[in-house]
Structure 1
Amino acid sequence: MNETTTQTAPSFLTQHDLSELLRLPERTLEDWRLTPAGPPFLNLGRHARYELADVLRWVGDQRHG
């Protein structure tokens, strides 16, 4: 079995998907993309996509106390 068939493809979220996951307005995500405040994202053409693993890591980094 070759290595590429055993790897799991990353899960990408749309802005709407992430908005629902984090229970935040889509406008907040748009604002975060203009500053380095939010989770990492990819620009695929004109579309922003968020890799689920990156988002979960970013959420964990936001913990305080």
Structure 2
Amino acid sequence: MTEQTTGTPEGLLDDWMPRQELAGIIGVSSDTLKRWETRRIGPPCIRIGRKVLYRRGAVKDWLLEQESRKAGPRARSAR
């Protein structure tokens, strides 16, 4: 098995991204993601020491869940 310059096996963390990267992608600050994690309202994450990582698939699922939450109440109130 080859290793990248970080010393981790190649491909091991390919599906994961750090908090700062996700913050840039979805247009919020790292502090906002940290606050969401504390309140358990943000995308699921894992911690490895001080490093916080988000799995890309879990973030996509979370985004879809947010979309359906927004659509649900509107659909009920639009009678």
Which category of TM-score, normalised to the shorter sequence, fits these structures?
Answer: 0.7 to 0.9
Structure 1 counterpart of 2:23? 19
Superposition deviation, residue 28 in structure 1: 0.4
TM-score after normalising by structure 1: 0.80
C-alpha distance after superposition, 1:18-49 (max 9, x if no partner): 00110111110010111111000001111110
Q: Distance in 1 between matches of 2:50 and 2:30?
A: 16
- Matched to 2:27, the amino acid is R
Percentage of pairs with the same residue: 22
TM-score after normalising by structure 2: 0.67
Flag the structure with more relative contact order, 1 or 2, with Cα contacts below 8 A and sequence separation at least 6.
Answer: 1
Select the structure of larger CA radius of gyration. Answer: 2
Structure 1 residues 1-65: aligned runs within 5 Å = 11-63=15-67, 64-65=70-71
Structure 1 unaligned regions, length at least 5 = 1-7
SS at 2:43 equivalent = coil
Superposition deviation, residue 55 in structure 1: 0.3
Give the aligned CA root-mean-square deviation in angstroms: 1.5
Number of residue-to-residue matches in the alignment: 58
Which contiguous aligned blocks of 4+ residues in structure 1 show a shift greater than 3 angstroms? none
